[in-house]
Amino acid sequence: MALLDWNTSLSVDVSAMDEEHKKLIGLVNDLNEAMKQGKTKDEMDRVFNELARYTQSHFASEERYLEKIGYPGAAQQKKEHAELMTQVAAFKAEYDAGKAMISVKLMGFLRDWVRNHIQKTDKQYGVWAQQNAKV
């Protein structure tokens, strides 16, 4: 069973962003599965690094889109993205140093952050884009 399943409650009604969110959710699920299956550290590193890279790439893509459409909440989005990336970087540094492990607690945090960010923050730009014919 997936940690987080894609469903319409996670759609922002912007197809490119929905596709990126689906990939992001897939990578969170991949990391969770690797943890649950007790994969090797090398495999966990590979999946965690892929998730971190893709998250950064997705945030950059989303921020470019928000600037392109002139979304008034773009600065707040960028701030939330930066805050998560700071948290991920801090955890990754501890993980790389052998001081932290991929855990149920971390996976719960990632699941909740992704779901809440999409359903609360990202949905706002979807609504704004629809209302302002910027899709």
Give pLDDT tens digits for 55-76. Answer: 999 999 999 999 999 999 999 9
Query: Are 82 and 73 in contact, with CB atoms under 8 Å apart?
Result: no
**Confidence at 135, pLDDT banded by 50, 70, 90:** low
CATH annotation of 26-131:
1.20.120.50
Helices assigned H by DSSP within the chain: 15-36, 41-69, 74-96, 104-116, 123-131
Query: Are 50 and 34 in contact, with CB atoms under 8 Å apart?
Result: no
Instruction: Select from 59, 66, 64, 72 the least CA-distant residue to 117.
Output: 59
- Which structure tokens are listed for 82? 């930066």
Neighbours of 20 (CB within 10 A): 19
Q: What is the pLDDT of residues 9-50, one digit of tens each?
A: 999 999 999 999 999 999 999 999 999 999 998 999 999 999
Structural domain boundaries of the chain? 26-131
pLDDT of residue 73: 96
pTM beyond 0.75, yes or no = yes
Instruction: Select from 92, 116, 118 the least CA-distant residue to 31.
Output: 92
Query: Are 80 and 121 in contact, with CB atoms under 8 Å apart?
Result: yes
Query: Are 32 and 66 in contact, with CB atoms under 8 Å apart?
Result: no
Residue 97 has pLDDT above 80, yes or no: yes
Mean pLDDT across 90-109? 89
